[in-house]
Chain A
Amino acid sequence: MTYVVTDNCIQCKHTECVDICPADAFREGKNFIVIDPDECVDCGLCVPECPEEAIFAESELTTDDEHFLELNAELAKEWPLILEKLPPIEGYQSWSGKPNKLAHLER
């Protein structure tokens, strides 16, 4: 099992999740962060921290979001570790809650 960051994070990236993670499992991209499934210890602490409600347990992913499991694993291999909370992306308000932001993901 692992927890997975999904679409709602893209272009917002509040990073509240990073500070609480006891396993240092988050990896940072330009406008999205992901969880390294090999590091995640399934504690679930990050879930209520996310203001965009972007994080789900693997077992609770909707069919539409299932591909994020693989995407998290793939990007975690490429992206650097993030340990400290950062300010959210400027102008995140206009993206918050918008569906299907995946096309905007910067790799």
Chain B
Amino acid sequence: MKSEYDVIFIGAGLGGLTAASLIAQKGKKVLVIDKHNIAGGYATNFKRKDFEFDVSLHSFDGVVKGGNSYKIIEASGVADKIEFLGHDTLYHYQCGDIDIKVKHQDIEGYKKQLVHYFPEEEGNIERLFSEADKNYKDMSGFLYSTKRFFLRIMATPLFYRRILKYEHYTVDDYFSRYTKNEKLKAALSAQWSYYGLPAKDLAFGYFSYPFIDYLRFGGYSIKGGSQKLSNALVDTIVEHGGEVQLASPVTKIVTNEKNKIIGIESKKTGFVRAKKIVSNISPYAVVSLTGDEQFDQKFKQNLKQLKPSISGFQVYLGLNCTLDKLGVKKDEYIRFFSPTLSQREQFDNLKNGNVFEDKTGWSINYFSNVDDSLVSPGKSSLGLFTLVGTSNWHSLSKMEYREKKQELTQVLIDKASKVLPGLVDHIEVCEAGTPRTMTKFTNNPGGAIYGFEQNIKQSGLFRRFPQKYPLKGLYQVGAWTFPGAGFIGTMLSAKILVDRYF
């Protein structure tokens, strides 16, 4: 441990680790400090018996050599340390009579399936994707430009104009320019649970990059789980002279009388000096660590009005048989079930915890179909996932909490059993992550899994919670800030932060 660093990162999540790696590679002395004893935030693994589970990753968009999203993997110095495994099936979507299997890097095949169900919409589908592709080019152009940041902003109205054009669009607004068909619009936003909001509320600007990135470049897992990515980032930081201090909760962000950042305090390290601090924890935690009085009214008022995202509930199952034995084909990976057409109705039910009837969307991830290194030979693993509201979890007594967790676990297993008869006879390991679990590990309020909700008021370059605080030397990275949540979102937020301020 040194007594002074150029930059200290609070929180070893994907955003913090990526930014620390980018800055360490520039020769700066960095320290990453986290309360947990494992690096990665939501990008971690856990073990139960001989099963290893990836905590949060369902699908990492576009991380293939030559693809746009791979650039951030290369820039963060981990490209030769990790391996990505493509998903043969990007996803399998079912809603009423619609049954669509989207194949790996097969946008044309996907369009054909849409045309099969909506033949009268063929022209509209073509135009919708043609413009979405152009928008993706504008987005990528902006995000991966090597020009200085202010030049990029200046160039936006000319070269990346769709970023501004669709700034106020929801996903539904965008689709509605081309079609009135609600079924088609629901199918197009089949992955909406990845973004935590129904298409009618979700910001198109945030959704539009991964939307095309998934279809054109594919979805991926990280071989050995996302812990491998987090560990690889830690290695790169250390190789470049940086340090990662785990199991050390920061107790204070220290400022001087001029309102400038001068360092942090933790029980383990004592006072450590740095003129720049990057938060990879929630902005609420930043305010409480720094002291409420350090922030002006306008900032606090603004923070009060922002809405954190929804949380999630995932059941992790280790099975004593292969997936093949349950009738799951080797090329299957993720299945989205949407029992009703209205995403908003589903969302309202999810938010209020009404997930017990068959009224809300949920999904299955066949983890070991993509990565069998996570299980022993002859065994398999899968995940059952639903979004779930943040309330009604944190105030329960431990006994009530245990019951609720058990109850919801059973609901998801019952749903899955209808798709996979015989499932219950093969469960060797069953674990569940709840909104309360998310908070335990990350301190995120309510167990929010996507930072601030990605509605149009809270997304986009000019509306997302800023990367720079009103206090000199204090910055934000990760899901809470621009562009937003997700593996690629948080890694991109690190790139933008460093391009802009470091």
Closest to A44 in B: B37
State the CA gap A42–B440 with chains docked (Å): 14
Known: A22-B437, A44-B37, A45-B440. A83 touches B399 (CB 8 A): yes
Do A43 and B249 contact each other (CB < 8 Å), given the known contacts A48-B35, A84-B397, A84-B398?
Answer: no
With contact pairs A41-B46, A83-B399 given, residues A47 and B247 touching in the complex (Cβ less than 8 Å)? yes
Q: Are B248 and A48 in contact (CB under 8 A)?
A: yes
Question: Is B47 on the interface with A (CB-CB < 8 A)?
Answer: yes
A44-B47 contact given A83-B399, A84-B397, CB 8 Å threshold: no
Q: Which of B368-402 contact A (CB under 8 A)?
A: 397-399, 402
Contact residue range for chain B? 10 to 19
A22–B433 CA distance with the chains assembled, in angstroms? 9
The verdict on A58 contacting chain B, using a C-beta distance below 8 Å, is no
A44 touching B402 in the complex, CB below 8 Å, given contacts A20-B440, A22-B440:
no
Does chain B have a CB within 8 A of A16?
no
Tell me, yes or no, whether B48 is within 8 Å of chain A by CB.
Answer: yes
Please give the distance in Å from A28's CB to the nearest CB on chain B: 13
What 1/0 flags go to A57-69 for Cβ under 8 Å of B? 1000000000000
Q: Are A44 and B397 in contact (CB under 8 A)?
A: no
- Cα of A83 to Cα of B248 in the assembled complex, Å: 25
Using Cβ atoms and an 8 Å threshold, which residues of chain B touch A47?
Answer: 37, 247
Residues on the B chain within 8 Å of A43, using CB: 46, 441
Known: A22-B437, A22-B440, A24-B402. A48 touches B46 (CB 8 A): no
Which residues of B lie under 8 Å from residue A45 when comparing CB positions? 36, 440-441
Give, as a whole number of angstroms, the nearest-CB distance from A8 to chain B: 14
Bound form: Cα–Cα A20–B46 in Å? 17
Q: Which residues of B contact A84 (CB under 8 A)?
A: 397-398
Q: In the complex, which residues of chain A have a beta carbon less than 8 angstroms from the beta carbon of B398?
A: 19, 24, 83-84
* Chain B, 173-205, CB within 8 A of any chain A CB: none
Q: Once the chains are docked, how many angstroms separate the CA of A103 from the CA of B220?
A: 56
Within 8 A of B (CB), among A41-94: 41-45, 47-48, 57, 83-84
Tell me if A's interface is mostly helix, strand, loop or mixed: loop
Q: How large is the interface on A (under 10, 10 to 19, 20 to 34, 35 or more residues)?
A: 10 to 19
- For A42, what are the chain B residues with a Cβ–Cβ distance below 8 Å? 47
Is B254 an interface residue when CB atoms closer than 8 A count as contact? Answer: no
> Within the assembled complex, what's the spacing in Å between the Cα atoms of A45 and B440?
8
Interface assignment of B38: CB less than 8 Å from any CB of chain A: yes
A48/B402 contact (C-beta < 8 A), A43-B46, A84-B397 known:
no
| A84 to B, closest residue via Cβ | B398
Shortest B28–chain A CB gap in Å is 27
Residues 1-43 of A contacting B (Cβ, < 8 Å): 19-20, 22, 24, 41-43
Which residues on B sit within 8 Å (CB–CB) of A48? 35, 247-249
State how many angstroms separate the Cβ of B450 from the closest Cβ of chain A.
22
CA distance A47 to B399 in the complex (A): 22
How far, in angstroms, from A84 to B399 measured CA to CA in the complex? 9
CB distance from A18 to the nearest CB of B (A): 8
In the bound complex, residues from chain B placing their C-beta under 8 Å from that of A57 are: 37
Q: How far is the CB of A50 from chain B (nearest CB, A)?
A: 11
**Separation of A22 and B46 alpha carbons in the complex (Å):** 12
Besides the contacts A47-B37, A48-B249, A83-B399, what 20 more A-B pairs have beta carbons closer than 8 Å? A20-B440, A22-B437, A22-B440, A24-B402, A41-B46, A41-B47, A42-B47, A43-B46, A44-B36, A44-B37, A44-B38, A44-B247, A45-B36, A45-B440, A47-B247, A48-B247, A48-B248, A57-B37, A83-B398, A84-B398
Which 8 residue pairs are nearest across A and B when measured between Cβ atoms? A44-B37, A83-B398, A48-B249, A48-B35, A84-B398, A47-B247, A20-B440, A48-B247
A to B CB contacts below 8 Å, 18 in the list: A19-B398, A24-B402, A41-B46, A41-B47, A43-B441, A44-B36, A44-B37, A44-B38, A45-B36, A45-B441, A47-B37, A47-B247, A48-B247, A57-B37, A83-B398, A83-B399, A83-B402, A84-B398
